[in-house]
Each structure stands twice: as structure tokens, then as C-alpha cells.
Structure 1
């Protein structure tokens, strides 16, 4: 299992693209793996024939462990060929009995979306009759406190009695039944959510249940910004070999506003507020398959416009081609979502946990506006757009949220048309 980032200690096998006995070329993809944030391909380091596969689909494998053996001579005659290291590999891939599915759902409904409970941990917990609270009480030795298989076994070895299941902050039960879905056989069709869509759904529900969302709106006049960009985009591309979109300009404005209001760049940990020193801006990006991913511009406040443009273009291109590295989708402290890309006037975005705010940028539209000039009030054609900020009202009040949003708008409205390229 190759190293896929500084904070990545393990990955889950999604699919083997090759079988035992198949020939492979060097750098040819032989399996797909997934971390918490992104899927990746694992290439073969040599040319040869696969003689052994040690892990199966859905197995969680630590970085550095041997996934498979490849005979570089390409000769499998007389060699022992095996698939899987133990019967447990096959057992882990089997579907769960019906009577354990409810427990699986409970285990996956973890209190921290970043505290990933791998399929292996869930399987062990179900086999040992561990409750969700008991599993979450186990100190994790993995990256960012993630619970490893060895942590669970060490806990079970010293376990004297099970913890009582006492859910905290549980949502009150409701007597309202789930509405019936009308399904017409042969006319309607059922589409199963893929893995990424399930993760997005869980993350969105968790965010709404965790943070009391409040959304504020302002309208900004970006006429000068649009004029400068249209005038200089060709020169910029020729000089820096980078396409100049509005996104790096938006990222720059947000990063500057965060410097002015650092308490918007925080996370909540129980009763503590973690103030992040780094300003890492996530960009909500739609993938060709309709799913959503959030690549991250690291240390955005330390980059000039050409550097931001290069980073944004790289992340956008990598997203479209499914080539993002795990490190490129982790560590965001604030997120922006350009809903104007789809023609939306404005949006009410859901906070990307564990952040406390997210900014949506609407479409830029020309329309007549009343402006004040030296001659007095006049009607002129201006480029206008809406900004909307959703924030976590536990730690961000109206004053901070409104002030930060207004500051972002000021940076966009007061864009210096003499900015060097």
C-alpha cells in the first residue's frame, strides 16, 4: 500500500482490476483504493504476473503493507498461487445478516465524520457486540486518533464489562411515520447511491444536525473586477500560462477577509474553539458524474494571484480527471461554493464540517442600478452578484458573520483595476 499523503495511514480496497495469474505492465493500474476523502489508483511497480493477492475488497490496509506479490520474471508455472491471506478476508466481504444491518447503521452514525469507522472495525464491533458508544470510547492510535484493529483487540483483551449504551444529545424520537414512496414497477427505476454519494449524504445530514445554520446575504457590484478580468485575461494567460477565472480572485478576497476576522477560521471541539493559523480554502467542485468534492487551496493568504490561479486550475483539472491526491482534499478551514457556475442567483450552502462557515457566490448579472456620481444619482449598467454566508450560530454570531461577509464584498467591490498581472 503506497503512501498517499502525510496524514494518510491506511486505505480501503475498492476493487481489484487484475486477478491472480494476470500479466501486468509497470505503472499499470491493478487496484483502486479509497481514503476518507478521495479514491486513488494503485499502479504496479514492475512488469510481471500476479502470483498472490493478500487482501480482498473492502479490506482496510495500512500504508506499507504488502497488497500482492508479482513475479517479475512473468513465469507462474510451478508456483503456488493464492488469493486472500485468511478466511477472514472472504468473511469480511460477505453481506451482513439482516438482523445486524440496524447495528451497522448505528455504528456508521458516528458523532465525528472525520473519525472514520472502517468496515473492518464495524465488523469486529458487531461480532463482539460492542455498542457505538463503547467503540467510540476506545483510544485510537492511528492518524488523527483513528481507531485501528489493534486498538479494538487491546481493548477487548482488558475489557471487564461492557459500557452501557447512553446516547448523548440524541435527537428526540418522533411518532411521525416515514412517508410512503410510490413506486411504479416497470416505469420508475431505482438507482443505488455510489460510495461517494453515500458519504456526501451522511456528511450533509451530520452537518445540519450538528450546526445551527444561519445564512446572511449581501449584494455586491463587481463591475470593476469584471472589467479588469476581461481586459487582462489574455495577457495573463500569455504571461503566466494560466487561465484567469474568477475563482482565484474570489479565493484571494476570502483569504484577506479571514485575516481581518480570524474567528471565522475556526472549528468547534466540544466546549473548545480551535482557531486555525493556516488559511486553507476549500473549493466545492462538481465532478462529471454529478458528485461533489472539495479540493483545498493551502495557505491561500500567502499566495499572489498568479500562484492562486495556478493552484485553482490544477485542482479543478485534477477533479475533472479524478486525479486528486488525498492531501489535496484535506485540511480546509473555510469553503466557498460558486453556485453561479450553474446559473443560480444565490444559494444557502451547508457548512463543510468541521468548519463553521461556507460562502456561496451567485451568478454575475448585468442590470441597471442607481449609482452616485459627481453629478449626483444616475442609472448605469452594472455587473452585480449575490454573496451568501452560512455560519454555525454556536460560535459565529450575526455581528461576526455579517462583518466578515461585508468585508469579502468590500474586497470584491474595491478591486484595484491597476492590479499588476
Structure 2
């Protein structure tokens, strides 16, 4: 998702030219580095103040970085796919060179620093004198034209490509530079790999004897869709969570007739009075917050053999993005907000999610997460814990059904609004008693909703 972030500016006067240093912006208290996704401007291009000149990404959000002032982009110090620490200078803008033609050619000697240097990682493949692997950087350091980005090198090493094979790939980047997409396209369409490929060094982690089943692929019918960056992070996060926490899921069914009837009756008046839409989400967040206060050991994280009990109640809301990916914006200090405060916060986060404008601080630090699977028509769900939390609640669809209820006249059949709640919890620290009691408390809060509540 894209947000416009602030930047650091350092001005320096050299002779008669003012140079502005563009630094990697700070995008959250706990974020110390970011990855450059793409430069939207080239060296020599004229830029306007506040004009977006590059895109960067953290493990939470993607961000557009604007130019701090007008001028000419004279130097780019880091290339796409490089990871840069917050506060590091990433580009230089010449303020007094704004008259330079937009497509002026940069001088050869002002090539980016990342082109002049290549960090030598630990070799991942054995060297073959006849056909050097990509871990052999001797030719790269002596031949600037052979520069390969760290990401390309990582992919090449993983796929066991030789240096000769990588350099033979036609690059579509600036000045013919080989990009990730070029390597992936080559791998996808490669028919005859070069012979005598060096064998990869054995990994230190235990090797599974299970062989993944082959995938039936018909090139005339099927197609390959590469995961985008966010989908890869979601996949990694989900696999990590399942490997980390022994998941247990409990279910209950609750009667939310009073809550549904009340909300339907007051939603128009609520909007007219406060200018805010009243959805079911703030009512769910309110009930969960009360249950957490009653059972604080649900609001924890696990650090090795220690349990960290969080004082603040920050409720994450699993939210679908326009791209189809998921993100978890956070209602901070939910237990301290009244219904109006919760409605404002929830609506703000939902709007920003739809517009791809969530800020980094709005998607981090949750201590408990809810996922409204009923939005998609699901009766119930078995959600995966959002690490480093220890529990997550799934809210099923609300459906009207005939139910047996007890009245002053005895048992009767009535039309009631019913829904399923399911709680997945980490059995390392949450046992069945705590998980079941917490889930039942949420259900009790929803069922005991006051139908005469004032707005």
C-alpha cells in the first residue's frame, strides 16, 4: 500500500551549487531499514518539489518518497532491491541545476555507488574453473558492466545459475541492467540448462526425506503467476506461525439478535448525529476488549520461555486490500475508547486500507486480532494466529434461524440472529480452560447487549 512519507533534508553549499541530500525516511518506531522497490526518476532528470521520485517498502507497507525540493537528480546512491538503513543518504538533488535538460546523460564518473561496489556474500555454490558460479565475484569487481544486484545474485545462487549464464540474460533495466523479472522470465522459459552445473553446498538444516508431489503443468492451458511482495510476506508469516504455535481452535454459537436489532434501529441516527457510519466491527472490538480485561493472559506474547503480558489492548482487524491481499490495521488502546471513538477509529482504518494509504504505525503493534470471515459469507473459520500474538478470533456470518428460546411462557421457537465465533490459540501458553473461558466471555458480552442502549 502506498503512503507519502516525510524525508530528512541536509543542505550543503559547495562553490555556487546547492545540493540536497535525500535520506531514507523513517516509517515507524520499530522500522530500522527499508528496501528500494523502484526509482521513478533517473540521474539527470528534473524533479519538482513533492514529486514522487522512488518507491520503498518495509515488511508492513510500500511507500512513495517525494523530492524535498526542485532541481536535478544528480546522484542515485542505491539501486532497486537494495536494503538501506533509515537515515542513510540515498540520492543527491542539485537545486541550482534545474535548468538542466530532463534527459541529460549523467557523467560516467558519477555512476551510483552501488555500481562501484558489490558486497561479497558467502558462496552458496562451489566454483567451477571452466564455468564460474555467481558466487565468484572476481570478474564483477574488475568489470563494472557485469554488476548484478544483490537480489539477482540471490536468485541466481538459489537456482544454481553460473555467472556466464546470468550475464547472458538480456536485461530490460536501465542501461541494460538485469532485473529480477528478467531472471525469472529466463528461468521460466529455459529449455536447455548449461551442462556441468556445479552442485550446491549441503544445507545445515535437516533434510526432509519427503519429496513434494510433482505439479501437472500444461503450457498450452496453464499459466504461472508470480507472487507479489506482499503475498510472499503473508505466505512466510503464515507458515512461520503454524511452525511456531501449536494451534487449537474452539467454537461457540451466540445469539446476537439484540445487538443486530439495536444497530439496525440506530445506525441512521448515529450517522446523522456523529457523521460516522456504525458497522458491527466496533461492537465486536468493544466486546473483545472487555473479554481481554477479564482474561489478560490472552493479551500476551511468547519470548522463548518467557511470557510477555501486554498492558495495552491493541486490537488488529484483518482487512482485505483492493489487491486481494490481507493486512491488519490496529485499533490502539481499544479498551479506553467509547463506541463513538471505536467507530471513528475503525472507519478511518478501513478507509485508509481501501485507499492503500495506511501509515506504518497503523499496521503494527497489535496484541490480539479479529478476522470477520462472515464478510465473505463464511459460516465459521479456523484462523491462523498473527504472530507474535497467541490468539485470534474469527467472526462468522450472522444468519437468521429458528431457535428454541426460554421465555416467561416456557420454551418457544423464535427467529433469532445467530453467529459462530471461533478462537484459535497457542497451546504453549493458552490451555483449553483459558481459551474456552475467554471465548465464552466474548459470547456473553454480545448476547447481553442492551437493546435500549443510548447513542
- TM bucket (normalised to shorter chain) is 0.7 to 0.9
Q: Deviations over 1:13-57 (max 9, x none)?
A: 111112122222222221111112111111122233222111111
- Do 2:69 and 2:95's aligned partners in 1 also have CA atoms closer than 8 Å? yes
Partner of 1:85: 113
Partner of 1:197: 231
2:297 corresponds to 1:269:
no
Q: CA deviation at 1:93?
A: 4.1
Q: Deviations over 1:280-305 (max 9, x none)?
A: 11111111111111111111101111
2:129 corresponds to 1:95:
no
- Which of 246, 260, 268 is the aligned partner of 1:212? 246
Structure 2 Cα separation of the partners of residues 98 and 384 of structure 1: 50
2:280 corresponds to 1:251:
no
1:375-394 to 2 correspondences below 5 Å: 375-394=409-428
- Which of 349, 360, 370 is the aligned partner of 1:336? 370
Structure 2 Cα separation of the partners of residues 390 and 24 of structure 1: 50
2:95 corresponds to 1:72:
yes
CA shift in 2, pair 1:407/1:48, >3 Å: same
Structure 2 Cα separation of the partners of residues 355 and 328 of structure 1: 17
3-state SS of paired residue (1:354)? coil
Partner of 1:291: 325
- Which of 40, 46, 58 is the aligned partner of 1:35? 58
Structure 1 Cα separation of the partners of residues 215 and 68 of structure 2: 50
**Structure 2 gaps, min length 5:** 1-23, 119-146, 161-202
Partner of 1:327: 361
Q: Deviations over 1:46-75 (max 9, x none)?
A: 233222111111122222222222233412
Partner of 1:129: none
CA RMSD in angstroms comes to 2.0
- Do 1:56 and 1:93's aligned partners in 2 also have CA atoms closer than 8 Å? no
The structure number with the bigger radius of gyration is: 2
CA shift in 2, pair 1:313/1:76, >3 Å: same
**Structure 1 gaps, min length 5:** 104-164
3-state SS of paired residue (1:68)? strand
Structure 2 Cα separation of the partners of residues 292 and 178 of structure 1: 27
- Do 1:50 and 1:68's aligned partners in 2 also have CA atoms closer than 8 Å? yes
Between stretches 213-222 and 1-10, larger displacement belongs to: 1-10
Structure 2 Cα separation of the partners of residues 25 and 166 of structure 1: 51
- Do 2:44 and 2:106's aligned partners in 1 also have CA atoms closer than 8 Å? no
- Do 1:51 and 1:76's aligned partners in 2 also have CA atoms closer than 8 Å? no
- Do 2:43 and 2:105's aligned partners in 1 also have CA atoms closer than 8 Å? no
| TM-score after normalising by structure 2 | 0.75
